């Protein structure tokens, strides 16, 4: 049973705790488990439900950590990483919870930001449950069916390359090429009640 519980625990820790920002490996883990299931070494049940629960619990834990830290999140993490998360939230809004699980680093950062911003808990849990389900089940099942049709050594070679990709800087976004986000789409910023700064005083001619 530990062959099923340990991977679920790894997902929980990667998604729910900040060290998952620096040691991402959930995608490789899910694909490896799918290959092993395709070879008959693991059973899809209870593998799939436990992986979903681990990912979902990790997202809930990350939200709780962010809720507790609040504005202190900015003091605990690199500014560039937080800006990347803010751009992502500004682009996708709450639906970021459906996309972020597929992106190493962001799947750990986004729950922290949602918690720090005080996003309502119930909508967060519903969206993150769907995102966790899509992430865990799709990758495992993809590798499961590939494992029945592609030689195992070729699949494991691909998984090894995937695991080494972050070490080669493949997941880093180039700051020079990123276009600035539209300010009105910045999800993480809460507007103050005094919105006078958004409209500069006009010095019209002939006042």
Strands (E), the chain: none
Amino acid 135: pLDDT? 97
Q: Which of 142, 118, 100, 124 is closest to 15 using CA atoms?
A: 100
Higher-confidence position of 32 and 52? 52
What is the model's pTM? 0.76
Check whether 204 has a pLDDT greater than 60. no
Amino acid 138: pLDDT? 96
CA distances, 198 to each of 23, 89, 192 (Å) = 40, 21, 11
Amino acid 55: pLDDT? 97
Cβ neighbours for 102, distance < 8 A, ≥ 6 positions apart = 27, 135
Q: Tell me: the pLDDT tens digits for 123-161?
A: 999 999 999 999 999 999 999 998 777 776 676 677 677
Range scoring the smallest mean pLDDT among 36-40, 61-65, 82-86, 151-155: 151-155
Check whether 54 has a pLDDT greater than 70. yes
Helix 44-69 × helix 106-116 angle, to 10°: 40
| Gap between the Cα atoms of 93 and 206, Å rounded | 44
Check whether 78 has a pLDDT greater than 70. yes
Amino acid 53: pLDDT? 98
CA distances, 93 to each of 9, 58, 100, 168 (Å) = 28, 20, 11, 30
**Three-state DSSP class for residue 199:** coil
Q: Tell me: the pLDDT tens digits for 164-181?
A: 665 555 444 433 444 444
């Amino acid at each position: 049973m530990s062959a099923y519980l340990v991977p679920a625990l790894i997902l929980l820790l990667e998604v729910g705790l900040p060290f998952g920002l620096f040691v991402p490996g959930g995608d490789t883990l899910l694909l490896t488990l799918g290959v092993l299931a395709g070879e008959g070494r693991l059973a899809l049940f209870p593998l799939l439900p436990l992986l979903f629960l681990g990912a979902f619990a990790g997202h809930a834990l990350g939200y709780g950590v962010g809720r507790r830290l609040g504005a202190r999140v900015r003091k605990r993490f690199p500014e560039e990483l937080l800006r990347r998360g803010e751009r992502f939230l500004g682009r996708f809004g709450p639906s970021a919870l459906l996309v972020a699980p597929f992106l190493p680093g962001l799947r750990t950062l986004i729950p922290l930001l949602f918690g720090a911003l005080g996003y309502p808990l119930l909508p967060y849990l519903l969206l993150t449950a769907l995102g966790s389900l899509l992430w865990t089940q799709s990758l495992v099942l993809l590798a499961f069916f590939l494992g029945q049709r592609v030689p195992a050594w070729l699949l494991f070679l691909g998984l090894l390359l995937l695991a080494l990709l972050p070490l080669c800087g493949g997941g880093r976004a180039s700051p020079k090429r990123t276009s600035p986000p539209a300010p009105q789409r910045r999800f993480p910023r809460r507007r103050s009640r005094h919105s006078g700064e958004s409209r500069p005083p006009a010095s019209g001619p002939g006042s």
